[in-house]
A and B are shown apart, each in its own frame.
Chain A
Amino acid sequence: MRRYFYLYLCLFILSGCSSISPWERGTLAKEHMSLEPSPMQNSLRSHQYGSREAASGGSASSGGGCGCY
């Protein structure tokens, strides 16, 4: 599983060598194209998942309390 993951990682880094001109970047600048379009809602959902599931995080974010309920 992990091997594939790194393979993909390398592949898309290489694919990044193609150039996209500045005037072609309008679509990517749209708000709903951002990686995190609803950060607040996302944090609420993550908090709920975190209190119900064993796998947590994946980013270097921290805090969140016990979730002991």
Chain B
Amino acid sequence: MKPHRVEVHQAEVVVAAIKSTTLAALTAAALALPLTTIYASDEETTFQYGNYQDGARNLFTTQSGLKPIEVDSLQSSTKLKLADRVRLAFNYSQDTWSGATPITTAPLAFGGNRASPFRASTISGASPYLQPNSGLVYVDAQHNPLQQNLDTGAYSKNTQLVHTLSSASPETRKQGDFRVGYDWDEASLDVGAGTSAENDYNSSFGNIAGRLDFNKKLTSVNFGSSYTSSNTEAMLDHDAVPYIEKSTFATRVQSLANGVKMVTGSREDWAGNVGITQVLNKSALIEGNVSYTASKGYMANPYKVMEVLFIDPTQIIDTEGKLKASMRAFLEQRPSERNQWTESLRYVQHIAPLDAALHVDYRFFHDDWGIAAHTFSADWIQPLGDGWSITPRVRYYTQDSADFYTPYLVSNQAASKSVIDPITQKITSVKYDPKLLPKNYSSDYRLSGYGALSGGLSVTKKFAKGIELQAGAEYYTHAGGLKPGGGGEGNYADFDGYLINAALKVDLSTLSLANSMHSEHGEHNHHSHHHGTGAPAGVMFDHVLSQTGETMIGYRYMYGNQAGMTQNGTNTVSDATIVNRACGGQQCYVTPHEMSMNMHMIELMYAPTDWLTLMLMPQFMDMHMTMRPLDGAPKSPSMTTPLGAAILHSAHEHTTGGMGDTGMYALFNAFDKDNQKITVSLGMSAPTGDSDIRLRNTHQQDLGYIHYGMQLGSGTWDFKPAVTYTNQIDDWSLGAQVNGTARFESSNKAGFALGDIFQATSWGSYGWTHWLSTSVRGVYTLQGELKGAYRGVYHQIGAMDYTNNYGGQFVDIGFGINAAMPSGKLQGNSLRVEWLQPVLDDVNGYQLPREGALSATWSYMF
């Protein structure tokens, strides 16, 4: 017998198909179902894009020219059944973020943010400025900060606090994990593991979870445990390093070359939870859960610092009522142990008259850092009919501050003092005593007392054939004033943000059922043959849908990289040649060492009539680049100049990632006779990808735009036509295509336009069986140089910063395998993989040669 959960789903499909048997089907499903642990589906794949954007922080006297932090997330998740009772799930996610966040907090009077010296004419920026006026500031007898009126010179009390912001160049985190589960009739066990990697933080984890059903499956006990091991290796902000006191960090901070300081640490987390889920009646259920997490090790944020105001208690107050004080910055210190408890309740109630579901959750969190937090949330899921559903939600969160949280510290001792040796009469300078500082301190606003209110809406549309689209938006506001009973952090720390997401879910078990029903009704699946011998994976725009209302979804992945010896035209060149020839009239300092790109595309095709197919193709990408110094390069200018700072920064791996451009196409067959087809595709690409990504300011220098090739989109509206010829002769399939990309605009908002592209390709494939074919393909590509140039700050340190070093003529040979599932559970699915091996790189100017490109596609037509 098949396990129960699949039956639920099958039952649901039957409902869609044969409405009159709804009651019977649901009852059949309910008989075997463990109601306390309902899963959406056992076999599904989901792809999600998310974007989180912080709002601008209030800096009072200074306006920040820094973009607030933005996070682009990509997630994919697949659940499969390996055998009757064995489940497998694997997930991949990546986040790319860049922008400004608070690094510390200080009294406004001390001028923690200042107008940036560069770009001053256009935007006033703010950069970390941790030790104003050489650290000397004034306070009154009660240690209130004093601000000087620049016109009158007089001092007056000003207790207003302000964040100091610091900005980050794009960084990416990638996580992969999996889970294997086994189901018994009245129990289940899951084991999983995964890893998360980013530049400065790596973690690996394993977990185990189980479920036991009792009481005719009306009660379930859930339990789980996990272990996580994490390592921090964080390079300190170049600009902040000179101002950060290291006396309390001797063991944690390592000095590397170029004055780079690295903070290292490791931590371990053990967690366990136990919960119970109970069906209360035929329309309500509740879950209670208790969890405990023990964390040990380095738990501080290496990028947050604490401002300490040193006030020498031996000084005499001056005639204006002022005391001298000295401001110093320390890396924050958090306890090396944290014990956390969470108790939560989740309640689900069906609202019969509206067929809605009300979800109400409450969570109480407390730890031995002194934080207690309450979370309330409510979701109302309202089905609207025809597969639509809408979910408004509201969430309120509040927390007390950690014991060691304070916006800034006051220490009653001199930061440094001159001491005269009574014997030798020698004067020495004695620094503060670090032992007089608290053991732990942090000014991270996330450890302060505050409340956060958020509200959002999601809309879901479920298509009958197992496809579901979801879009959601949520607005989030954080404020000290939202903490009940007062005592929250001041309004300087208030901020808001919003989160949007879009997801595509494919229910694989419904697909397979829909297919088998389809076949039973004698409507033969007409496209599997076509797909099995279709074009190689790297070819797009080669086919149309042939029936009104037909839909296809697909996922395309492309990887490409460049590495090796730099070429000029078709010849490899020496470092000396690059230095002297590749950078216009200037000399090059560095050269690209390796560049790679990952691209994920979602292909959505729909035929509104039988002769026209519309296609929408959103893209998501990430790019990586490393550079190396050139032998014989001129001496780098000082790192206190913009060019010197840019050259030093090139030693870091550069990454970008997020949404790319979005393609929109219309396809039709201009000729279709005797297995011969000419398919025309007309479309354009919308500039939804960023083309103005900048590097963060470093060494107090504006590094300006990142290299042209690292931008995620063209920034221009592009025209993309393609004409494809295909011919099917017995087991052979032949095809040829010409396609192009022409930029509608002469420059994007950053000031440049990518070169136009012309491509011609031809292939032949042979079908070994009705479901498997292999292909060979030749590709010729011609791409023009970049036009225009960045308007605004950018530093030309290597060949990749000169527009004539883009484009060229390229020839590749491709080897591909196509597989289509003609029958069985995965009928209608096809998988295609192709490797493109470069044969000729005739580059414009000086560029790295290509090493190869991989294309993999999955598509499903129904």
CB distance from A8 to the nearest CB of B (A): 7
Q: Choose from B95, B97, B346, B371 the contact partner of A55 (Cβ within 8 Å).
A: B371
Interface positions, chain A 18-69, Cβ under 8 Å from B, are 18-20, 22-35, 37-41, 43-45, 47-49, 51-66, 68-69
Contact yes or no, B289 A58, CB < 8 A: yes
- Name the prevailing secondary structure of the A interface residues: loop
Beyond A26-B27, A37-B40, A44-B48, whether A69 also contacts B69 by CB under 8 A is: yes
**Nearest-CB residue, chain A, relative to B76:** A40
Minimum CB–CB distance for B729 against chain A, Å: 45
Cβ of A59 to closest chain B Cβ, rounded Å: 6
| Bound Cα distance from A56 to B207, whole angstroms | 17
Which of B38, B77, B272 meets A35, CB within 8 Å?
B38
> B35–A25 contact, CB under 8 A?
yes
Q: How far is the CB of B56 from chain A (nearest CB, A)?
A: 16
Supposing A34-B40, A60-B224, A63-B228 touch, asked if A29 and B26 sit within 8 A by C-beta, the answer is: yes
Closest CB of chain A to B267's CB: distance in Å? 10
Beta-carbon contact of A29 and B97 below 8 Å: no
Q: Does B472 contact A41, Cβ atoms closer than 8 Å?
A: yes
* Cα A31 to Cα B46 with chains together (Å): 16
Q: Is the CB of A54 within 8 A of B200?
A: no
How many chain A residues sit at the interface, stated as a range, is 35 or more
Which residues of chain B from 285 to 313 have a CB within 8 Å of any chain A CB? 285-289, 291, 293, 301-303
Quick one: closest A residue to B363, CB to CB? A58
In the complex, identify which listed stretch (B120-128, B211-219, B533-541, B626-634) lies at the interface while the others stay far away: B211-219
- Does more than half of chain B's interface fall in helix, strand or loop, or is it mixed? strand
Identify which of B337-345, B430-438, B676-684, B817-825 touches chain A.
Answer: B337-345
Expressed in whole angstroms, the Cα–Cα distance for A44 and B371 within the complex equals 24
A-chain residues with CB within 8 Å of residue B215 when the two chains form the complex: 16-17
- In whole angstroms, what is the CA distance A37 to B447 when docked? 31
Contact B177 A20 (CB under 8 A): no
- Residues of chain A within 8 A (CB-CB) of B277 are 35
Is the pair A39, B343 in contact by a Cβ cutoff of 8 Å? Answer: no
- The one of A19, A26, A64 in contact with B216, judged by C-beta atoms closer than 8 angstroms, is A19
Q: Are B232 and A66 in contact (CB under 8 A)?
A: yes
Complex Cα distance, B289 from A49, in Å, reads: 19
Closest residue of chain B to A39 (Cβ to Cβ) is B40
Contact of A37 with B381 at beta-carbon distance under 8 Å, contacts A47-B73, A60-B225, A69-B71 already known: yes
Nearest B residue to A2 via CB reads B343
B357 touches A44 (CB 8 A): no
Is B48 a contact of A58 with CB atoms below 8 Å? no
Question: What is the bound-complex CA distance between A25 and B800, given in angstroms?
Answer: 64
Say yes or no: B286 contacts A12, CB within 8 Å: yes
Whether, in the assembled complex, B373 has its beta carbon less than 8 Å from a beta carbon of chain A, the answer is yes
Q: Tell me, in angstroms, the Cα distance from A58 to B799 when the chains sit together.
A: 51
* CA gap between A41 and B73 in the complex, in Å: 11
Does any Cβ of A come within 8 Å of B209's Cβ? yes
Q: Which residues of B contact A62 (CB under 8 A)?
A: 194, 205-207, 226-228, 269, 271
* Neighbouring A residues of B269 by C-beta, 8 Å: 62
Q: Please indicate the chain B residues that have their CB under 8 angstroms from the CB of A25 in the complex.
A: 27, 30-31, 33, 35, 279, 282
Contact A61 B364 (CB under 8 A): no
Cβ of B582 under 8 Å from chain A: no
Q: Would you call B579 an interface residue if the criterion is a C-beta within 8 Å of the partner chain's C-beta atoms? A: no
Question: Within residues 1 to 37 of chain B, which ones have a CB less than 8 A from any CB in chain A?
Answer: 8, 11-12, 23, 26-27, 29-31, 33, 35, 37
The answer on a CB contact under 8 Å between B278 and A69 is: no
Q: Does B177 lie within 8 Å of A63, measured CB to CB?
A: yes
Are A58 and B344 within 8 A (Cβ)? yes
A35 to chain B, nearest CB (A): 6
Chain B 734-770 interface 0/1 with A at a Cβ cutoff of 8 Å (1 = within): 0000000000000000000000000000000000000
Selected from A22, A33, A60, the residue in CB contact (under 8 A) with B350 is A33
Mask, B659-698, CB within 8 Å of A = 1, is 0000000000000000000000000000000000000000
For A9, the chain B residues whose CB sits under 8 A away are: 276, 288
Chain A: minimal CB distance from B576 (Å): 41
- Sampled A-B contacts (12; CB under 8 Å): A31-B12, A33-B350, A40-B46, A41-B458, A45-B474, A54-B373, A57-B342, A58-B344, A62-B206, A65-B196, A66-B232, A69-B171
